[in-house]
Amino acid sequence: MPPPRERVVLATRRGARIVRTRVEVEEQTAVGEAMVRGLIRAQLALALRMAAVVVLLVGLMPLLWVVAPAAGTARLWGVGVPWWILAVAAYPALLAVGVAFVRAAGRNEQEFADLVDDRWP
């Protein structure tokens, strides 16, 4: 019969560090407030980036008609192409930006929750 397995430990922890980040946030200490401010800043930066994408998508359309006037006068099924873009194509683009925003905001919040989690890895 083989000898019983033995656990080999290279180093022992003398004093496990107590992770108090959740307490810091709940008690609204200076550290907790800084963490929450960081989350708010990250969410604000994300919102501003997504707003810039929407402004570019919608704002560059008039520039397209100036650069390519034929595209502005083209018709598809009796309706002008600019109306098709504004009335039909804009909504899937806005939906895609919205979905991307919600996913990225969720990632920000999950990273914050992981940071605040009291469990030691």
- Cα(23)–Cα(40) distance, rounded to whole angstroms? 19
- Cα(4)–Cα(9) distance, rounded to whole angstroms? 16
Report the chain's terminal Cα–Cα distance, integer Å. 36
Residue-wise pLDDT for 60-111, tens only, equals 877 877 887 777 777 778 777 777 777 777 888 889 999 999 999 988 888 8
- Our CA angle for 105, 45, 111, nearest 5°, is 40
Q: Residue by residue, what is the 3-state secondary structure of the chain? A: CCCCCCCCCCCCCCCCCCCCHHHHHHCCCHHHHHHHHHHHHHHHHHHHHHHHHHHHHHHHHHHHHHHCHHHHHCEECCEEHHHHHHHHHHHHHHHHHHHHHHHHHHHHHHHHHHHHCCCCC
Tell me the pTM.
0.63
Kindly tell me if the per-residue pLDDT of 23 is higher than 80: no
